[in-house]
Structure 1
Amino acid sequence: MTTPRIVSLVPSLTEAVAHSLPGALVGATDWCTHPASLDVERIGGTKNPKVERIVALAPDLVVANEEENREPDLDALRAAGLDVLVTEVRTLPQAVAELDRVLTACGLTTRPRWLDEAEAAWDAVPAPERRRTAVVPIWRRPWMVLGRDTFAGDLLSRLGYDHVHAGHPERYPRVPLDELRAAAPDVVVLPDEPYRFSAEDGPDAFPGLPCAPVSGRHLTWYGPSLAEAPAVLTTALRAALD
Structure 2
Amino acid sequence: MGTVRRVVSLVPSLTEAVAATAPELLAGATDWCVHPAGLDVPRVRGTKNPDVARIAALAPDLVLANEEENRPADLAALRAAGLAVLVTEVRTLPQAFTELDRVLTAGCGLPRPAWLDEAEEVWRSLRPAFDTTAVVPVWRRPWMVLGRDTFAGDVLARLGVRNAYAGHPERYPRVGIAELNEPGRAGLAVLPDEPYRFTAADGPEAFPRLPAALVSGRHLTWYGPTLAEAPAVLSAALAAAVPAAPPR
With the shorter chain as reference, the TM-score category is: over 0.9
Alignment partners' CA distance in 2, 1:33 and 1:83: 24
Aligned to 1:147: 147
Mapped to 1, the partners of 2:236 and 2:50 lie a distance apart of 36
CA distance in 2, matches of 1:79, 1:127: 46
Match of 1:209 in 2: 210
Q: Matched residues in 2 for 1:164 and 1:185: separation?
A: 6
CA-CA distance at 1:208 after TM superposition:
2.7
Paired amino acid for 2:223 = Y
In the TM superposition, residue 37 of structure 1 has moved relative to its aligned partner by: 2.0
1:20: Cα distance to partner? 0.5
Using the size of structure 2 for normalisation, the TM-score is 0.94
- Aligned counterparts, 1:44-193, within 5 A: 44-104=45-105, 105-108=107-110, 110-128=111-129, 131-182=131-182, 184-193=185-194
Residue 246 of structure 2: aligned partner: none
CA RMSD of aligned residues (A): 1.4
Tell me if the contact between 2:181 and 2:209 (Cα under 8 Å) persists in the aligned partners: no
* Structure 1 position 123, deviation (Å): 1.1
Secondary structure of 1:190's aligned partner: strand
How far residue 111 of structure 1 moved from its aligned partner, in angstroms, is 1.1
SS of residue in 2 equivalent to 1:90: coil
Secondary structure of the residue aligned to 2:191 is: strand
Q: Matched residues in 1 for 2:4 and 2:221: separation?
A: 29
Q: Write out per-residue CA displacement over residues 13-44 of structure 1, whole angstroms, 9 at most, x where no aligned residue.
A: 00000111121001000000100121000000
Match of 2:37 in 1: 36
Q: Is the counterpart of residue 225 in structure 1 residue 242 in structure 2?
A: no
1:191 partner letter: P
Whether the 8 Å contact between 1:184 and 1:209 is mirrored in structure 2 is no
Distance apart, 1:3 and its partner CA: 6.3
**Amino acid in structure 2 at the alignment position of 1:107:** G
Distance 2:210 2:87 in 1: 39
1:4–1:107 contact (8 Å) kept in structure 2: no
- Counterpart CA distance in 2 for 1:155 and 1:209 is 21
Q: Counterpart amino acid of 1:162?
A: R
> Tell me, what secondary structure is at the counterpart of 1:195?
coil
Query: Does the CA contact (< 8 Å) of 1:9 and 1:29 recur in 2?
Result: yes
Given residue 164 of structure 2, which amino acid in structure 1 is its aligned partner?
A: V
Looking at structure 1, the residues matched to 166 and 79 of structure 2 have their Cα atoms a distance apart, in angstroms, of: 35
Which structure 1 residue ranges, 4+ long, deviate > 3 Å from structure 2? none
Instruction: Read off the aligned partner of 1:146 and give its amino acid letter.
Output: L
Deviations 1:105-150 (A, max 9, x none): 1120x2111101110111121144x621000000000000000000
Please tell me whether the aligned partners of residues 3 and 109 of structure 2 are also in contact (alpha carbons under 8 angstroms).
no
- Secondary structure of the residue aligned to 2:241 is helix
DSSP-derived class of the 1:241 partner: coil
Residues 3, 23 of structure 1: 8 Å contact kept = no
Note closer, same or farther for the CA distance 1:3–1:72 as it changes in structure 2 (3 Å cut). closer
For 1:25, the aligned partner's letter is L
Cα pair 2:4 2:108 within 8 Å, conserved: no
CA distance in 1, matches of 2:77, 2:3: 27
Aligned 8 A contact 2:164 2:185 in 1: no
Secondary structure of 2:190 counterpart: strand
**Partner secondary structure for residue 23 of structure 1:** helix
Change in CA separation of 1:210 and 1:125 when aligned onto 2, cut-off 3 Å: same
Superposition deviation, residue 241 in structure 1:
1.4
Q: What is residue 195 of structure 2 aligned with on the other side?
A: 194
- % identical aligned pairs: 71
Inter-partner Cα distance in structure 2 for 1:2 and 1:100:
17
- Note the C-alpha offset of 1:204: 1.7
Instruction: Please state if 1:19 is matched with 2:23.
Output: no
Question: Could you tell me the TM-score, scaled by structure 1's length?
Answer: 0.96
Gaps of 5+ in 2: 244-248
